[in-house]
Structure 1
Amino acid sequence: MAPAAAWRALLALRHGLGGMLPVLEQVRQAVGDIFQITLPGFSPVFVAHPDAMRQVLVDERDDYRWRPEGDPVARLLRRGLLVTDGEEHACLRAVMEPSSRRSHFAPRCASLWRTCDRILDMWQPGRTYDMLVEMRKLALLLFEEVYFSHDLLPELDALWKPMLKALDYIGPGLWVLWGGRRNPPKAVRVLDAHLHGLIRQRRADPNPPDDLLTHLVQGLADDGLVRDQMLTMLIAGHDTSTALLAWTLYLLGKDPVWMERAQAEVRDVLGSELPTPENVGRLAVLDQVVKETLRLYPPIHVGNRFTARDVTLAGYRIPAGSRVMVSYYLVQRHPVYWDAPTGFRPERWRSDFRPAPFTYLPFGGGPRNCIGGPFAQLEARLALARILQRVDLSLERAQVQPHMGATLEPRPGVFLRVEKISVEKMGVEKRA
């Protein structure tokens, strides 16, 4: 990388990796779709070309490891699905995959509007709320309801700060320059106690519900290993949904025309119906909006890999042990593959539109794509439909920047003013 670009990257690291995205875009434009950033203790190879992505994710995936030994994510998740390789990963995925099929989780989503209403009922007309916070509350409740059959609301306050500390711990920061030797924060013990409590209750249940937690305790004898999968899914599952929901509301708030279109569709198409996995499929405008949000701001913005051996990637020789970062963010904004790549253009997602292979990967790609991606996509449509049914929203602060945390978050937040919709205007009666 050119010295000037390296200097810009180093300056961006004053605020952690959160300020790196503009630098990465500048470097890609200057030197091409595969480049290396060389900093003290941190020399990742970035990939932003679809053919090279296919090579890493599919064709030569066995040449790359997923487990980042020493990184905070491995220290926190231990033997979680996200940070295991080979046969161990295959065995864990086999246990968890049945509960991640749409045919399994969709029936469990039929009444998620009730959980949405629990959050919406707390909102006061005329007040401004940070949707990054509100959507995190909602995503945590929805995840535990579907995957653990557990009502998290009574414990939400107690788990809130420990969860934020865990996310801050695994988010990319200056630790990449001197290694991830720091142990997880003590607050993680609160999350562990919560998860182990659920495990004990489930093992003692003679008639357990058919959910992910039951599949885990029946498929894995080691409670510690069950904990690792639960924490992996809880963190990754809720945090990706938080980002997707918050970014969608931000983009709609910033574009009143699309806000009006999406809200009118929800009210016209659903009418007095409550959002369900079946009827949200009729919301074509909302589908376009969600897909475009995922293109601009993929929650999983980069895939982190390590070469297991010397490899040749798109003609470049890369030695064993190198960090390779597959940038979904960069390829999904690449001007060669996308018209108006940085613009919010939901209309591009017409029914006959198909992006070029490996240029649209908001939940990763290949055999190890995000196991919770299908649920996140359905959950987002259900939650957004209910929100747009019940409230009017207007953006109070337009200056928002993407932050490279555990997921790609809008910072400093998404501040929307809330106005409740009357039952008469909404055309929807809350049913018990």
Structure 2
Amino acid sequence: MAVDTQAGGAGIPELAGAPLLGSMFDLRHDSIGTYLRAQRAHGDVVRVSAGPPGLRAVLHCVFSAEGAQQVLAAQSANFRKDNPFYQEVRESFGNGLLTSQDEDYLRQRRLVQPLFTRKRVDTYAGAVAAETSTTTGGWRDGAVVDVSDEMMRLALRAVARILFGTDVDTTVDVVDRSFPVITEYVLRRGYAPRNIPRSWPTPGNRRAAAAMDELYAVCDRIIAERRAHEAAGADGAHGAAGTDGAHGAHGAHGAAGTDDGQDLLTLLAAAGSADDGAFDAGELRDQVLVFLLAGHETTATSLAFALHLLARHPAQQERAREEIRRVLGDRTPQAADLDRLPYLTQVLKEAMRLYPAAPVIGRRAVAETEIGGHTIPAGADVILAPWVTHRHPDYWSEPERFDPDRFTPEAEAARPRYAWFPFGGGPRACIGQHFSMLESVIALAMMLRDYAFEAVDTEVPVSAGLTLRAQGPVRCRLKATGAGR
């Protein structure tokens, strides 16, 4: 076993790998399985090396809840998004809230935060319910559906509707075509020891550039049309006593977006302050791209695996359905119902424990930091793995077992804060976590009320891309319940 002999800290155990390439092929084949094996073999701070000598990456993996809290919260200033992976995301999806840093990030967060208060997010409930109805409207008793594909489409349509109000179909079609090409490109470059310039006209570079051009173009067109519409509405309302021209303009184009007729793009375009100014067109596009990326893949993953787990556990599925029927009857769920569906919320949290949408989180240390009795040197690439921490035997008994009762208020209070962190944490915690829970609870409540789910694929292999991915279908057989239809 190799150890880290860096001065100033105790030796860090290293996961054994191949003599020349270390754990490179293990990480490429099954990164989350490799990290889990590292924790089981060596504990909560482990080095994993990958690549040939001279091009070798050394990852300092931190698996404890206490270590995750240090990296994300208590000592977050020591750990930045400066690694090659985030640079590739930044170059492909823009310098939005997910990838920006320092004053750029703080300014963006201040401008965006009012749009993600609980009161504001609750106005998105109607759009989520409408898109869920559209999805289930195409289902039939006895049919077999791939819930991974169905939830990806549902979540994308919901976030596009909330963002844009209109243009949902056009946006969804473009994202469907472009996102897989761009994300594969980001992953390939983000984990490569060396990359050729993006400007070189290789087939891979050209495919990715074409996908980015198409995605950027649809966002730019919608933003330009929206700003032109807003300007026309403001001009028309100028000087008219007692009128609210801006709100009228919102209602004219955004009624399909949220319950109060203001879609998120309208609110982003209007966001501003004396200190922070407002977003220009390029900054608006960056935020829209990040919301499209982070706002649909993560929620889709949580929903798909919640359905998969319930389909494999009929007793828990029926318990959730009984709660839904008792609380909702046959009415459409609203934002206020989230607090009235505690068991359904527990189901989602347990699904996010077993299948966290962001199974791996990367940072780069900019200052030497002691974690778990080991010294993480400045300049080190640091890996947190919710996939591993969510299965840590110190926090979870029988960690592979599906048990929503792990998330009763009493059980949650008894665990370390970062034993469960599917939304990250600290000053860079996901700004959309309430939106994700709102969307997931509403959609899951409507689907479970209308249909019972039986697992066709009982085992679903997964891999870590930009988000957790099912490597194959996640099929369920539907049985209509007769409720709410």
**TM-score, normalized by the shorter chain, greater than 0.5:** yes
Please identify runs of 4+ aligned residues in structure 1 that moved more than 6 A.
8-12
What is the number of residues matched between the two proteins?
Answer: 424
2:136 paired with 1:120:
yes
Provide the rounded CA distance (Å) in 1 between the counterparts of 2:282 and 2:57: 32
Helix, strand or coil at the partner of 2:139: coil
Say if 2:375 is the partner of 1:359. Answer: no
Deviations 1:186-238 (A, max 9, x none): 21222111211221122122323544322332343431221111111110111
Task: State the secondary structure of the residue aligned to 1:5.
Answer: coil
Aligned to 2:225: 201
Structure 1 contact 300–407 (Cα < 8 Å) conserved: yes
Tell me the equivalent position of 2:61. 46
One-letter amino acid matched to 1:415: R
**Residue in 2 that maps onto 1:59:** 74
Per the alignment, do residues 174 and 74 of structure 1 end up closer, same or farther by CA in structure 2, a change over 3 Å counting?
A: closer
Alignment of 1:21-36 (within 5 A): 21-36=32-47
For 1:386-406, what per-residue CA distance to the aligned partner results, in whole angstroms no more than 9, with x for missing partners?
Answer: 111222321111120221011
Residues 352-402 of structure 1: per-residue CA shift (max 9 Å, x gap): 222322111110111110111110011100010111122232111112022
The Cα shift of 1:154 comes to: 4.9
One-letter amino acid of the structure 2 residue matched with residue 202 of structure 1: R
186-195 vs 130-139, which moves further: 186-195
Return closer, same or farther for 1:109/1:8 CA change in 2, 3 Å cut-off.
Answer: farther
Q: Which has the larger radius of gyration?
A: 2
Percentage identity across paired residues of the two chains: 29
1:295 Cα offset (Å): 1.1
Whether the 8 Å CA contact 1:17–1:174 is kept in 2: the answer is no
**Structure 1 spans left out of the alignment, 5+ residues:** none
Who is 1:144 aligned against? 160
Q: Which residue identity is paired with 2:349?
A: K
SS at match of 1:337: coil
- Whether 2:408 is the aligned partner of 1:408: answer no
1:216 aligns with 2:268: yes
Partner of 2:478: 418
Residues 278-287 or 173-182, more deviating:
173-182
Out of 342, 350, 355, the residue aligned to residue 297 of structure 1 is 355
Equivalent in the alignment of 1:233 = 291
Q: What residue identity is the alignment partner of 1:23?
A: T
Could you tell which deviates more after superposition, 74-83 or 32-41?
Answer: 74-83
Contact 2:450–2:480 (CA under 8 A) maintained in structure 1: yes
State the secondary structure of the residue aligned to 1:325: strand
Once the 2 structures are TM-superposed, how far is the Cα of residue 181 of structure 1 from its aligned partner? 5.0
> Are 1:147 and 1:212, in contact at CA under 8 Å, matched by a contact in 2?
yes
Distance in 2 separating the partners of 1:326 and 1:290: 22
SS of the aligned residue for 2:356 comes to coil
Task: Work out the CA distance in 1 between the residues paired with 2:19 and 2:405.
Answer: 35
Stretch moving more, 98-107 or 147-156: 147-156
In the TM superposition, 1:52-131 aligns within 5 A as 52-69=67-84, 71-131=87-147
Distance 1:414 1:230 in 2: 29
Amino acid at match of 2:222: L
Whole-Å Cα distance in 2 between the matches of residues 180 and 315 of structure 1? Answer: 35
- The Cα shift of 1:45 comes to 0.9
Structure 1 residue 50: deviation in Å? 2.0
Aligned equivalents of 1:147 and 1:322: distance in 2? 37
> Runs of 5+ in structure 2 lacking a partner?
3-13, 199-204, 234-248, 255-261, 273-277
